[in-house]
Amino acid sequence: MVHVMLSSSRKERVFLRREQDILDAALSLFAAPDWEQVTVEQIANQAGVGKGTIYKHFSCKEEIYARLAVDFHHQLMRDYRSIDASLPFDQIFRSIIKVSFDRLLGDPSCGHVSFYCKRGQFVERLNPELQTTFVQMQAEFDDFIASIMAQGIAQGVIPERPVNQLTAALEATFDGALRMIWNQEVTTRLDMSVDSFLNIVSEFMMVGLAGLKH
């Protein structure tokens, strides 16, 4: 009986390790500009497994996207929660922006996949279990941001407005800035360094929040 349990445990470890190898292989391929064209067969070749092995772990390529997005979300939330909550609101807010840009620009493969997975139609195509996971992820993020915004309101830095109103423009500004960097518009069309651009964007977001009317 003990031998069977050990054998089962070993198989599970091998299964999970192979699954991580598949995810790592996918990430390495998703770094290319045409990452959406990467096929399951290419991922299998990169991971050194058969195509059929991929489907033992993931029912389709979009499930690979989803798993990468979930893992990225957990990493980002850990970074957010490591920020000192006792700091003044403006320092916390700027730290959140910096962490977000650092994560997404430091790992463009995960960044591209995470943005792809934000599409409503993408989530609708997932199985019920993954749909629930994405709903929970969004709720966790929303709750965290709501708590930070509540601090800013309490400190009188930003006006008392519904959180969805406060974050809508912030998200649009952040997403737009990220796409400009990914499209290389910042260094070519604007002739700016990425660091200078990010400083301006962060300042714009902070000033925009503080300048909203009640």
Q: Read off the tokens for 52.
A: 């059929």
Q: Which helix (H) or strand (E) holds 124?
A: helix 120-125
At residue 167, the pLDDT reads 87
Range of the domain at 101: 62-210
pLDDT in tens, 119-172: 888 888 899 999 999 999 999 999 999 999 999 999 988 888 888 888 888 899
* Pair (161, 70) in one structural domain: yes
Mean pLDDT of 43-54: 94
Q: Supply the pTM of this predicted model.
A: 0.85
Q: Read off the tokens for 38.
A: 């990467």
* Pair (2, 17) in one structural domain: yes
* Pair (93, 52) in one structural domain: no
Q: How far, in whole angstroms, is CA 98 from its chain's centroid? A: 14
Residues in the chain: 214
Q: Read off the tokens for 142.
A: 């929303």
CATH number at residue 200: 1.10.357.10
* Pair (38, 97) in one structural domain: no
5-9, 117-121, 174-178 — which one is most confidently predicted on average?
Answer: 174-178
Mean pLDDT of 203-214: 84
At residue 40, the pLDDT reads 95
* Pair (89, 187) in one structural domain: yes
Q: What is the total count of domains within the chain?
A: 2
State the sign of the Cα–Cα–Cα–Cα dihedral 55, 59, 65, 66: negative
**How many Å apart are CA 177 and CA 185, to the nearest integer?**
10
pLDDT in tens, 99-120: 999 999 988 888 889 989 988 8
* Pair (71, 51) in one structural domain: no
* Pair (54, 72) in one structural domain: no
**How many Å apart are CA 134 and CA 118, to the nearest integer?**
9
CATH number at residue 6: 1.10.10.60
* Pair (123, 91) in one structural domain: yes
Q: Encode burial over 4-18: b for 16+ CB neighbours within 10 A, e otherwise.
A: eeeeeeeeeeeeeeb
Asked if residue 89 lies in contact with residue 150, where contact means CB atoms within 8 angstroms, the answer is: no
* Pair (95, 162) in one structural domain: yes
Over 60: is that where the pLDDT of 5 sits? no
* Pair (29, 83) in one structural domain: no
